[in-house]
Chains A and B, each alone.
Chain A
Amino acid sequence: MSNAVKAVKEPLFHIEKRASLPAWKAWAIRGGALLVALVVSCILSGLFLGGNPFAFFSSVFSGAFGTSTRINTLLKELSLLLCVSLAVVPAFKMKFWNLGANGQILAGCIATTACMIYLNGVVPPAVLYILMFVSAILAGAIWAVIPAIFKAIWNTNESLFTLMMNYIAEGLVAFFLTLWATDGSGTLNPIKDAMLPKIGGEDFILPLIVAIVLTAAMYIYMRFTKHGYEISVVGESENTAKYVGINVKKVVIRTLIVSGALCGLVGCLLSGAINGNISTSMHDGMGFTAIMVAWLAKFNPAIMAVMAFVVIFVERGAAFASRQMGVTNSAFPSIVTGIIFFFVIACEFFIEYKLKFRSKKKGGNE
Chain B
Amino acid sequence: MEKTVALEMRKVSKYFGEVIANKDVDLTVYQGEILAILGENGSGKTTLMNMIAGIYYPDEGQVFVRGEEVLIRSPHDAFAQGIGMIHQHFKLVDVFTAAQNIVLGVNDGKKYKLSDINARVQEIADKYGFHIDPKKKIYEMSVSEKQTVEIVKVLYRGADILILDEPTAVLTPQETQKLFAVLKKMKEDGKSIIIITHKLHEVLSVSDRVAVLRKGEYIGSVETKGATELSLTEMMVGRKVELNIERSEPKDVKDRLVVTGLHCKNRDGVEMLNDVSFVARSGEILGVAGIAGSGQRELLEAIAGLQHLESGEILYHDPVSEQEVNLRDKTPLQIRELGVRLSFVPEDRLGMGLVGNMDIVDNMMLRSYRKGKSFFVDRKKPQTLAETIIEELEVATPGVHTPVRRLSGGNVQKVLVGREIAASPKVLMAAYPVRGLDINSSYTIYNLLNKQKENGVAVIFVGEDLDVLIDLCDRILVIGGGRVTGVVDARTTTKEEIGLLMTKSDSIGEIKAEEQTEGAENE
> Taking beta carbons and an 8 Å cutoff, which residues of A are in contact with B?
1, 3-6, 8-11, 14, 16-20, 224-227, 229, 232-233, 236-237, 239-240, 242-245, 247, 356, 364-365
Contacts and interface: CB of A to CB of B under 8 A. Distances in A.
19 contacts: A4-B80, A5-B81, A6-B70, A11-B73, A18-B17, A20-B17, A20-B18, A226-B369, A232-B355, A233-B366, A237-B351, A239-B352, A240-B351, A240-B354, A240-B366, A244-B366, A245-B336, A364-B62, A365-B69
B251 to A, nearest CB: 31
A257 B401 CA distance: 31
Contacts of B354: 240
B375 A1 contact: no
Contact of A244 (B71, B367, B374): B367
Contacts of A10: 71
A17 B367 CA distance: 35
Contact of B332 (A4, A16, A18, A243): A243
A10 B350 CA distance: 38
A10 B344 CA distance: 50
Interface in B357-392: 357-358, 362, 365-367, 369-370, 374-377
Given A226-B377, A243-B304, A244-B332, A236 B355 contact: yes
A3 B73 CA distance: 14
Contacts of B348: 239
Contacts of B370: 226
Nearest to B11: A364
Contacts of A4: 80
B81 A8 contact: no
B353 interface: yes
A4 B81 CA distance: 11
B26 interface: no
Contact of A16 (B15, B346, B377): B15
Contacts of A233: 355, 358, 366
B68 interface: yes
B71 A242 contact: no
B71 A5 contact: yes
A5 B304 contact: no
Given A233-B355, A237-B355, 20 more contacts: A1-B80, A4-B80, A6-B70, A8-B73, A11-B73, A14-B57, A225-B375, A226-B374, A229-B362, A229-B369, A233-B358, A236-B358, A237-B350, A239-B348, A239-B351, A240-B352, A243-B353, A244-B332, A247-B333, A356-B59
B243 to A, nearest CB: 33
A19 B17 CA distance: 4
Nearest to A21: B17
A8 B305 CA distance: 58
Contacts of A229: 362, 365, 369, 377
Contacts of A247: 331, 333
B355 A245 contact: no
Among the interface residues B17, B73, B351, which one has the most CB atoms of the partner chain A within 10 A?
A: B17
A243 B352 contact: yes
B359 to A, nearest CB: 11
A328 B56 CA distance: 52
Contacts of B375: 225-227
Contacts of B333: 245, 247
Contacts of B104: none
Contacts of B350: 237
Contacts of A245: 305, 331-333, 335-336
A236 B17 contact: no
Contacts of B69: 365
A19 B73 CA distance: 23
Contacts of B59: 16, 356
A18 B69 CA distance: 28
Contacts of A226: 369-370, 374-377
Interface string B315-355: 00000000000000001110110000000101010111111
Contacts of A8: 71, 73
Contacts of B70: 5-6
Contacts of B62: 364
Contacts of B362: 229, 232
B173 interface: no
B300 to A, nearest CB: 11
A205 B69 CA distance: 70
Interface string B1-19: 0000000000000011110
Most A CB within 10 A of own CB, among B16, B366, B374: B366
Contact of A237 (B17, B335, B352): B352
Given A229-B369, A244-B367, A245-B331, A19 B71 contact: no
B167 interface: no
A352 to B, nearest CB: 9
B227 interface: no
A330 to B, nearest CB: 39
B356 interface: yes
B241 interface: no
A1 B355 contact: no
B353 A225 contact: no
A273 B362 CA distance: 41
A74 to B, nearest CB: 35
B162 to A, nearest CB: 18
Given A243-B332, A244-B332, A224 B306 contact: no
Nearest to A242: B306
A225 B375 CA distance: 6
For the complex of A and B, the 3 pairs showing the least CB-CB separation, nearest first, are A245-B333, A245-B332, A19-B18
Contacts of B358: 232-233, 236
A5 B71 CA distance: 7
A76 to B, nearest CB: 32
Interface in B279-306: 304-306
B275 interface: no
A11 B74 CA distance: 12
Contacts of B57: 11, 14
Contact of B356 (A6, A20, A225, A236): A236
B208 interface: no
Given A1-B81, A5-B70, A225 B18 contact: no
Contacts of B352: 237, 239-240, 243
A18 B62 CA distance: 23
Contacts of A16: 15, 59
Residue from A225, A233, A244, A364 whose CB has the most chain B CB atoms within 10 Å: A244
Nearest to B10: A364
B216 to A, nearest CB: 15
Nearest to A365: B69
